[in-house]
Structure 1
């Protein structure tokens, strides 16, 4: 599978992950760090429903994942892009699989909340470092601010369909994630995310 469909599918996964984290882990994002910085401000100001420890855990784990992803890019980025992309996606799938096991094993435990925040945020940081190095325009997979700006500011162009697809993918993932969290808890949406990323790890071609 070419990179553009892969990155769009990963954007859907980001919507799923943020639905899990925001709705199920105490109003914290583990994929969208822009939102997380804002949430940290809310928490620091004492706004109800937000947690400084939760948000800091997510931010630090994401940055650690991004640092590891950057090192992997330096080591594997000189070789075939398909190998590098597939290995990074396989690592993300394994991290999400671990999160899934934890969510099913101890869904109501305080340690579970911190574990899920840390592991999913680490996975998203790892992926973001990879996506950044790939440099595919308008497909960051976790944030849409510049994508929406491009849609509004640039008018019709070669990336209009790609930008629109990214927005739709994020909405679809968030909607699916919200429904699954509300009706089935945290384990099922994490399992769906694991399977999706696992399939992408096998099928990604590395070509745009």
Structure 2
């Protein structure tokens, strides 16, 4: 009896724990935003906080920013989040590991498709909008899933509250600093992704960094467990 009841739990725990998976996805976010901001006309497709600010710049007529690009990104992200919310309600009641793996496989396929488009039709207006729309949709899908998972301090795309918690809960801020390693790792992961993504964009164009992001998401999908 004990053996039988342990089997589902053991299957759920096999693979890379969710903390590691979410840190890996934070690296992917840095790569995706490096591609979108540096290569798609100063727009974010993972970090919607920055994108709202960029939309404000564009609406005010600041040079180098596009209202259309920002609106496409925001709209696609929201559609992806809706899809992620519905998927979470359907899949989230079952195996956590299976749910996470399905969503990350979808992300890998979507981002992989953008890498192919960027390679086959570089520089075209249609390519720019396709990359913005599809990567933003993929990030919305993932963000809705991460939100429902509720792993503390690992949102994978936004660091403002992570940095706030890192400072406010530190010993200097009068706290215990108990989550400092996780929060610091999240910041480092985002920075590493941004550095890698920016270097790849500047030296190899848009296709390769998107391919790297897709492959990393795919590896995380295959290895993710359901445990934190």
2:102 and 2:76 mapped to 1: Cα distance?
A: 20
Secondary structure of 1:122's counterpart equals: helix
Shift of 1:159: 1.1
**1:96 offset after TM fit, Å?**
0.5
Alignment of 1:192 onto 2:207: no
- Supply the distance in 1 between the matched residues of 2:27 and 2:219 (Cα, whole angstroms): 14
Report the count of equivalent residues: 208
Residue 157 (structure 1) shift = 2.6
1:119 matched to which residue of 2?
A: 134
After TM superposition, give the deviation of residue 131 of structure 1 in Å: 0.1
1:60 match: 75
Deviations 1:31-52 (A, max 9, x none): 0000000000000000000000
The RMSD of aligned alpha carbons is 0.5
Residue 79 (str. 1) matches residue 99 (str. 2):
no
Structure 1: segments with no counterpart, 5+ residues: none
Q: How far apart, CA to CA, are the structure 1 residues paired with 2:69 and 2:161?
A: 27
- 1:91 aligned to 2:111? no
Return the match for 1:102 from 117, 134, 143. 117
Structural mapping, 1:1-208, within 5 Å: 1-155=16-170, 156-208=176-228
Shift of 1:158: 2.3
Question: TM-score, normalising length from structure 1?
Answer: 0.99
Q: Deviations over 1:166-191 (max 9, x none)?
A: 00000000000000000000000000
Query: Which whole-Å deviations, capped at 9, do the CAs of 1:123-173 have from their partners, x for residues lacking one?
Result: 000000000000000000000000000011011432110000000000000
Could you tell me the TM-score, scaled by structure 2's length? 0.91
Gaps in structure 2 of 5+ consecutive residues: 1-15, 171-175
What CA distance in whole angstroms lies between the structure 1 residues aligned with 2:226 and 2:108? 17
Secondary structure class of the residue paired with 2:43:
coil
